Chain A
Amino acid sequence: GAVVSQHPSWVICKSGTSVKIECRSLDFQATTMFWYRQFPKQSLMLMATSNEGSKATYEQGVEKDKFLINHASLTLSTLTVTSAHPEDSSFYICSALPLAGGKTQYFGPGTRLLVL
């Protein structure tokens, strides 16, 4: 149980285009989902906290208009990288916190984005 999926697993896009990444909790409902990015040989950095039905809370230094987050249901959160640039190329990982309680976050497998 407690599986989180991400789609797509990898994506290549041209500079200036927008890319949407989906994060789904497959067998549980999640009140809160988190979005991280990870650069090569670096740690996961929290980008934003997404709560179902409300606006996401962004970490300092993360552009809200650049990284649009939508958490429309208890099983789905999306991250849209708008007007992507090569410096946005990274590994994006989501995690979900079950509605049932507890503090264990369940992580998705990640999405690798390459912007040309």
Chain B
Amino acid sequence: AQRVTQPEKLLSVFKGAPVELKCNYSYSGSPELFWYVQYSRQRLQLLLRHISRESIKGFTADLNKGETSFHLKKPFAQEEDSAMYYCALHSGGYQKVTFGIGTKLQVIP
């Protein structure tokens, strides 16, 4: 069975400090990992995916198959980064998505 674990429900950092949101997964196949973000009173939206190896809003995430991790990082947190972040694993022909429980990032001014 596939599983996504986000060990921290809440992460508080000061503005300008580095951020790392942890995500570990369990999946027998070749994983496709995504990070989704939900800002206050807004809908869930895609932040980035491991295949693209892109940096969105200063965030990056590297898939580490050895550690089965896909941690989300940003060198300098901004207040507007405060949001709920969900790590997700996509699988199956219909793109079934398994979400982690989510981590609330709170950036303190």
Contact = CB atoms under 8 A, between A and B. Distances in A.
Interface of A: 4, 32, 34, 41-46, 49, 51, 57, 93, 95, 97, 103-105, 107-110
A107 B43 contact: yes
A18 B98 CA distance: 28
B101 A103 contact: no
Interface of B: 9, 32, 42-46, 49, 86, 90, 94-102
Contact of B94 (A32, A43, A44, A107): A32
B1 to A, nearest CB: 10
User: Which of B9, B45, B86 has the largest number of chain A CB atoms within 10 A?
Assistant: B45
A93 B44 contact: yes
30 contacts: A4-B43, A32-B94, A32-B95, A34-B96, A42-B101, A43-B86, A43-B99, A43-B101, A43-B102, A44-B86, A44-B99, A45-B99, A46-B97, A46-B98, A49-B96, A57-B94, A93-B44, A95-B44, A97-B94, A97-B95, A103-B49, A103-B90, A103-B95, A104-B46, A104-B49, A105-B46, A105-B95, A105-B97, A107-B43, A109-B43
A93 B44 CA distance: 9
A34 B43 CA distance: 15
Helix, strand, loop or mixed for chain A's interface?
strand
Contact of A34 (B42, B46, B97): B97
